[in-house]
Structure 1
Amino acid sequence: MMTGARLSWKEVRDRIHQRILSGDYAPGDRLPRDADIAEELHCARSTVQRAMQDLSDGGIVERRRKGGTRVRSDPVTRATLDIPVTRTEVEQKGARYGYQLISSKTAMTPRSVTGNFELAQRKEMLRVKALHLSDGRPYILEDRWVDTTTVPEILDIDLTTVSANEWLVQNKPYSRCDLRFYAESASPESAELLNAKIGDALFVIERTTWIDEAPITLVRAQTAPGYQLLTRI
């Protein structure tokens, strides 16, 4: 009797990753034992171990000896750059983190946002503006659009106490990310909020994320003068 070909470690990895992206395994959840996954998927245990190691290397899961495998609470889903939790970024520099919600309201996406999301037409999304602080000083000014069709749960989150950045990183891993870096002149509003001068060149990090074909969020993060971006590869 012929049997089907066994799954490769990449296929096993992708199946497990998809379960994490779909929410079957939430941040902090413990995954089944490698042996149990191997039995379920009809593959060798070594195949599962190789798949899990790749997910661990990619920042999706955390493996501990005798502690099993868990979905990371702060997943750093890797594209070309980890998406950081700004609070963690500030605290790792030894500074005190602060956060101020400027506004949170639904609005129709402008053409630039609609285009970045690759949508055929404008749609209503949640727009969130917030200021992240480091030792009481402006650090990052965030202007974010969130697709509430894809992420309806965010409407129940108190964004005065939890930043959209932190909540999305912890709860909505993505399958695709477009990343842009550029400089732009400080407007009167951004100059006032970031303690800059009108016309100063500000470093901007722009990210757009999707789960499969569904938009999640687009954020333009304007950084305060003196901000430095460090990544290790």
Structure 2
Amino acid sequence: MQQGRQTWKAVRERIHDWILSGRYGPGDKLPKDSELALQMDCARSTIQRAMQDLSDSGIIERRRKGGTHVRKNPLVRATLDIPVTRHEIEGRGGQYGYQLIEKVQRPPTRAVQAALGMAEPQDMLQIVCLHLSDGRPYTLENRWVSIETVPDILQVDLTRENANEWLLKNAPYTRFELKFYALNADEKTAELLSVQQGSALLAIERATWVDEAAITTVTAITAPGYQLLSRS
């Protein structure tokens, strides 16, 4: 059987079911990642991604030398998944549209280096695009992708396929950071989002890594009326 057929989300739900059913109770130690990978016939990185999500959700606790245990007192936390913008729009009943504005290979800005924790600058792929709902601006993305970590991105026709979906399918992450802040629309942003210059907008900044290797950082500036759903 070919390894890696299961998604990390399927693996996560299976391990979670073991905990809910009492197979592994509060304080119990879970098998090593390598053992679980053999048991579930998947890649070790898939197990690690699933475990990271369970840890982020407060269900398990991972220690470098102590292994992985079910928490004695599970935490309750709101969780935010990295969204597929197309699914967001279609889930609200809108028709999805996409426009590639710019794609260029260049050294990152200092802000991008800092966001990804890069000690030395290396050429990255900058992608600026606009997501549309029923023909109207929805979010404006300014994304930087590491071509060292994800070299295949250079072969993708980004006029037809957006980087948001492609990366989530082809560049699994083991951790991510998320920031929210407000900004005022500058002249270019106002034009692209069809708002008045100076309008207050919500910005969502995300960065992802696989282990210690940077994958991407993106700033998504949302049009007025945007709503973000959190579940707990």
TM-score by length of 2: 0.70
For residues 144-202 of structure 1, the C-alpha deviation after alignment (integer angstroms, 9 at most, x for no partner) is: 00000000011111100110000011111111111100001101011001011111111
Q: How does 1:46-195 map to 2 (within 5 A)?
A: 80-195=79-194
The aligned residue for residue 73 of structure 1 is none
For the 8 Å contact 2:34–2:44, the answer to whether it is kept is no
Displacement after TM superposition at 1:20 (Å): 6.3
1:162 counterpart letter in structure 2: E
Aligned to 2:10: none
SS in 2 for 1:115: helix
Give distance in 1, aligned partners of 2:35 and 2:224: 40
For 1:19, the equivalent position in structure 2 comes to 43
1:215 is matched with 214
User: Quick one: which amino acid aligns to residue 192 of structure 2?
Assistant: L
Unaligned runs of 5+ in 2: 1-27, 58-77
Report how far residue 221 of structure 1 moved. Answer: 0.1
Instruction: Describe the superposition over 1:44-81 as per-residue Cα deviations: whole angstroms up to 9, x where unpaired.
Output: xxxxxxx8xx79x9xxxxxxxxxxxxxxxxxxxxx941
Measure how far apart 1:15 and its partner are. Answer: 5.2
* Aligned equivalents of 1:172, 1:15: Cα separation in 2: 22
Residue equivalent to 1:205: 204
1:13 Cα offset (Å): 8.3
Check 1:8–1:220 CA distance in 2 against 1; reply closer, same or farther (3 A cut): same
Q: Does 1:9 align with 2:30?
A: yes
Q: d(CA) in 2 for partners of 1:184 and 1:14?
A: 47
Shift of 1:8: 4.8
Instruction: Please name the residue that 1:33 is paired with.
Output: none
Gapped regions of structure 1 (runs ≥ 5)? 1-6, 23-50, 58-78
Distance 1:165 1:21, change over 3 A: farther
TM-score, structure 1 normalization: 0.70
Query: Which one-letter code corresponds to 1:217 in the other structure?
Result: T
Corresponding residue pairs, total = 178
CA contact (8 A) 1:202 1:225 kept: yes
Q: Distance in 1 between matches of 2:43 and 2:155?
A: 24
